[in-house]
Structure 1
Amino acid sequence: MSTNSGSPAGLSDTVLTVDNLTVDFPTPDGAVHAVRGVSYRLNPGEVLGIVGESGSGKSVTSMAVMGLLPKTAKVSGSVRFRDRELLGLSDNEMKTLRGNKIAMIFQDPMTSLNPVYKVGHQLAEAVLAHHDIPKAKARARAIELLEMVDIPQPDRRVDQYPHEFSGGMRQRVVIAIAMANNPDVIIADEPTTALDVTVQAQVLDSLRAAQRETGAAMVLITHDLGVVAGQADRVLVMYAGKPVEIGGVDDIYYNPRMPYTLGLLGSLPRLDQREAGRLTPIQGSPPSLVNLPLGCPFTPRCPLAQDVCETREPDLEPVDADEAGPDGHRSACHFKDRVARHRPADLFDETSADAELPGDFGSDSTGEEQAEPHGPTDVRSVNTDFGTESDRDEQL
């Protein structure tokens, strides 16, 4: 949301409010501007997807919310959990919130789980850290949590070590730890990274189960736009540490108003596309966060860039007058109206590999051209509901 549109704080149903969050890391070469003015709010049960290339500031934003950044980081802005400001709290004060009110699922379960402790011990520890209950009751809760995330034979698995679990099962254990205390907010940092599609589906089912069980709001950080399409209610697109577009899933996927968002969608395979063709790439690389350009940081890669883009960075503003509400569709582009209803291939140039394709590439075996897919940017047809597979192949 726009950093100059006023804070959305004060709304009674908001569990998490991030307003104009900025994070800098000092280095010998200058300050790294990792996060630049991120604002959003979360309501109970809502899922916000945060997408963008590596280095765009997605994970740093969430680390700042959790108070897990190093002491050298310079953090400003506001992070409020309900009516409590989190920035400036001591580590001991944050410990009462982490895992209890706000939980985080990290992307690498092998580094999230301690290899020398049994899985049940680590689950029970998450419960005992915030509740004064007998160890037997904590163990029973650990077994219950394993069952909730579809770990087979949870009463036996609870006494096994992390290395005795497959990668997908370890990730589900991490999800179980996050939901142990029924938190109000769950932050999932790329929970399906490096998993095959079947295991990914199982992990996503576990995430849905965690949300149903806890009623929590969720921040879902991912590179996978298909996952976002199937899971999120709203989407925040980040580039060079700054939000460049935010809106409902339908707004972002059917009517993107930022060239970068359109380029991300063009890089996504579509299962409804009947004609053969290559994905549309965004050529170039993100800018250095130490020496950011004066204007819009996407200018060197943008097909719509004009002189104004090199001198003035656009604000995150409503795309239409009726989108001016706090949850409306907003875009940071001087030419957002020109982006509307375009296909990625309309704006982004073909690569040298595309130019060398034969003239009949994209035709069927009879030489007849295939039908165009419906809708200019109708990419939500990506199949993200893989179904729930049996865990028999993961059992030892």
Structure 2
Amino acid sequence: MVGLDAEDILEKAKVLSDEKFSEVFFECPFTLGFILKIDKALKEQGYSIDGDVTLTEYIVYLFQVIGLFMVYADEEDVFGKDKYVKNYIKEMREYASKKNAKYKKRLDDGISMDIANDYSDAKPLKNSEAKKDSSKCGITKGLKLKGTEDEEEKKEEDPRTLEELMEELNSLIGLESVKLEINNLIHLQELNRIRVERGMVSLPVSNHLVFYGNPGTGKTTVARLLSKIYCKIGILSKGHMVEVDRSGLVAGYVGQTAIKTSEAIQSAMGGILFIDEAYTLCSNSENDYGREAIDTLLKAMEDNRDDFIVIVAGYPDLMMDFIKSNPGLESRFNKYILFEDYTNDELIEIFKVVCKKNGYVLEKEVEDEVKKLFAEMYTDRPDNFANGREVRNYFEKVVTNQANRLYGKENITNEELAQITKEDLKVN
């Protein structure tokens, strides 16, 4: 905008609101998910407002921007292939024309008579042109909301290639059925992306997943790799993973759970929200706020289908009960991946990898002893056996025994520091 800075834009937005600008927009049923999509689309185009503003001010500003694009711009260039956003804007445009025939004149007057005169013919402005002449769109750069950080700046892209990430996934010990399922998902997503690029019909693929299995079976590791792989093939924009449990979503007072859950959702936008032991959100108590978290989550999943994935994880039986407890969960989670317990040989292999990674050497007789101990551990394992976690816990006890054995000894050699003996393997 000519001669207008960020503060002026906010003031004009407030004027529009005072003059029942909200009659055009705010009576339409909009959602937090829609606001976040608009915000994301504008930031990707390099547009935002300078200075610290409150969230309320920024929402008003976003609708100011939408109004400008509705009158002057071709939102196709701004919002790309996001059908949800474009359909929403189309719906608002139709609503505006029915609700207020003088909408355009009021918008022009509220912004600037000079700008209105410049666009007296209401000629559509392409986004590429807007970038060349920012005075025609009234959008500036450098938004930072109070109390937040710029997520785009904070998150760095994983330096590994797609091939390297796939190799890491496929080289994980065990999990053969899991790796097959994940590879199938990746191949389907990649093929779907190619179809869309070539103007073909997009396949109806649900990205949300249920990971079920005992602890320590690699659920978190696979989810984290999947987020990075999906980023590489263009399914997710950031490729990070936010891991939470009930305590990260549920608050102790009425109304706070929705806010807390929304914050977790927002932090995971562009990546994966991984909810461990998700069934703890479901309770029969009327005073439990877990259901509020579920409702907020379901709404976000519906509103942000293109750049937000939820993976819920936990014990097999409990996860099935959790999904069946809510029709909304059943409709949104239709892909289940079972993480089976590791076999005895796989547990031994994990122990050897952990040892090697930390610079420890297992002599032949020590390795044979490890196999015997793990065979007993595997045979006597409980139903909720911790698998890889159990191996890591055992490793920590072994190296603690080694430290106690070497403590106080003078002139310890490098070989002694790297060596694990049969005596070290004796743990309770």
TM-score by length of 2: 0.22
When you count strand as a share of all residues, which structure comes out higher? 1
Structure scoring higher RCO (CA < 8 A, sep ≥ 6) equals: 1
